[in-house]
Amino acid sequence: MSESLDQSLFLLGCSHQVADLSAREKISLPSSSIDEFYNGLGKIQGIEEYLLLNTCNRTEIYAASKSNLSRNLIIQYLSKFRNLDPAFLSRYSYQRSNHEVVSHLFEVASGIDSQMVGETEILGQVKKAYSDACKRNISGKMLNRLFQKGFQAAKWARTHTGISRGQVNLGNVLCELARRIFGKVANCRLLVLGAGEVAENTMEAFKSRGSQAITVTGRTFDWCPLSRNKPSELAEKFGGFALSFNQYKDSLHLFDVILTSTTSGQSMIGVEDIKRAMKKRPAKPLFLIDASVPRNIEEDVASIDNVFLYNMDDISEIANENLKSRMSEVERCRGALAQRAQKLWDQMTQQKEIS
């Protein structure tokens, strides 16, 4: 009895915790081969229920069986499928069994095992993997219970602990600041001067929150519909507008959030420009972000009432503070999830003994 219980749940996985990017790339399954992988996995002797969680940072195989299940068969199957040396796979993967699987899934679904602690995307990915397994009829009584309880545990962790508190992505930090200033980010009008990773990140974050008024301008931008310079490309990519570079100073008052991200090395927005803009929108705050090094916005504009100026150091500091705050909650969350996992495992084994 104890032997069979010992083999009830098994997990073979690879994630950022044990493997670097190049190793993860080798182990990860291309989406085109998922069907084939599942077909072969189902033929392994003793395996009754199984599920594959395959994301950019993680490849995990969950398996359940009432009889003896040889872990080696699963490891061999994956290494053969991906043409990997078994020693390589052993080095860059981890194995869990029984209540460890429950604990691991709870941690993964709640986001505390993610590279960006507390991120919420992973829960959607786990749900998608489970839904896919249900459609294929390969998830049974044990995995159904495990994953449904995993979703509940993830929800509990996000509600009752601070693991998702504060934003840690730069674009999301800017959106959070914009929300504190203006309320709905969707109603904010964003002007981006220049291009770059921060600019793209910000536009993506604003766009994902429903912002419809994204405008891009840049020194290399030429007002010509055929030009494919970076700012106009960005505007097109995020469904925004392109603004001629020589017009932006006269249009500052039309925007709520202005981000500069250029390598010009000179001041592009001065105190007088902002004073002029604020005269046209006195009671409306203005949020300025200087993501350039050297800076593009004169520091003195911060002294103007209703103007909030942030530079990259400020944004990074907030992101780091939020991350620290999340990290301080991880241990508390892990302990609580372990208790819930143990309780679920006890229930699962008791039911099994009764049946």
Output the 3-class SS for the chain.
CHHHHHCCEEEEEEECCCCCHHHHHHHCCCHHHHHHHHHHHHCCCCCCEEEEEECCCEEEEEEECCCCCCHHHHHHHHHHHCCCCHHHHHHCCEEEECHHHHHHHHHHHHCCCCCCCCCCHHHHHHHHHHHHHHHCCCCCHHHHHHHHHHHHHHHHHHHHCCCCCCCCCHHHHHHHHHHHHHCCHHHCEEEEEECCHHHHHHHHHHHHCCCCEEEEECCCCCCCCCCCCHHHHHHHHCCCEECCHHHHHHHHHHCCEEEEECCCCCCCECHHHHHHHHHHCCCCCEEEEECCCCCCECHHHHHCCCEEEEEHHHHHHHHHHHHHHHHHHHHHHHHHHHHHHHHHHHHHHHHHHHC
By the rule CB under 8 A, 285 interacts with other proteins: yes
Per CB under 8 A, the list member of 279, 335, 353, 355 interacting with other proteins is 279
Per CB under 8 A, the list member of 305, 335, 354, 355 interacting with other proteins is 305
- Segment near other proteins (CB under 8 A); pick from 114-122, 130-138, 150-158, 314-322: 314-322
333 is catalytic: no
Whichever of 183 and 210 has its CB closer to other proteins, that residue is 183
Per CB under 8 A, the list member of 282, 335, 354, 355 interacting with other proteins is 282
Between residue 168 and residue 187, which ones bind other proteins under the rule CB under 8 A? 177, 179-183
By the rule CB under 8 A, 310 interacts with other proteins: yes
Whichever of 182 and 241 has its CB closer to other proteins, that residue is 182
By the rule CB under 8 A, 284 interacts with other proteins: yes
- Segment near other proteins (CB under 8 A); pick from 102-110, 138-146, 224-232, 312-320: 312-320
Whichever of 46 and 285 has its CB closer to other proteins, that residue is 285
How big is the site for other proteins, counted in residues (CB under 8 A)? Answer: 19
Query: Shortest distance, CB of residue 176 to other proteins, whole angstroms?
Result: 9
Please give the span between the terminal C-alpha atoms of the chain, in angstroms, as a whole number: 12
By the rule CB under 8 A, 81 interacts with other proteins: no
* CA 178 – CA 208 distance, rounded (Å): 14
By the rule CB under 8 A, 276 interacts with other proteins: no
Between residue 180 and residue 219, which ones bind other proteins under the rule CB under 8 A? 180-183
- Segment near other proteins (CB under 8 A); pick from 121-129, 132-140, 267-275, 299-307: 299-307
What separation in angstroms does the CA of 247 have from each of 244, 252, 264, 275, 301?
A: 5, 9, 17, 17, 20
Per CB under 8 A, the list member of 125, 314, 323, 336 interacting with other proteins is 314
Neighbours of 45 (CB within 10 A): 10
By the rule CB under 8 A, 302 interacts with other proteins: yes
By the rule CB under 8 A, 257 interacts with other proteins: no
Residue of 56, 175, 188, 333 marked catalytic: 56
Per CB under 8 A, the list member of 1, 226, 283, 354 interacting with other proteins is 283
Whichever of 51 and 173 has its CB closer to other proteins, that residue is 173
Query: Shortest distance, CB of residue 44 to other proteins, whole angstroms?
Result: 46
Query: Shortest distance, CB of residue 317 to other proteins, whole angstroms?
Result: 7
Question: Each residue of 172-193: b (16+ CB within 10 Å) or e?
Answer: bbbbbbbeebbeebeebbbbbb
Here the tokens at position 144 are: 């159904």
Whichever of 78 and 177 has its CB closer to other proteins, that residue is 177
Per CB under 8 A, the list member of 306, 320, 339, 350 interacting with other proteins is 306
Contact positions vs other proteins (CB under 8 A) = 177, 179-183, 279, 282-285, 302, 305-306, 308, 310, 314, 317-318
Active site residues: 56
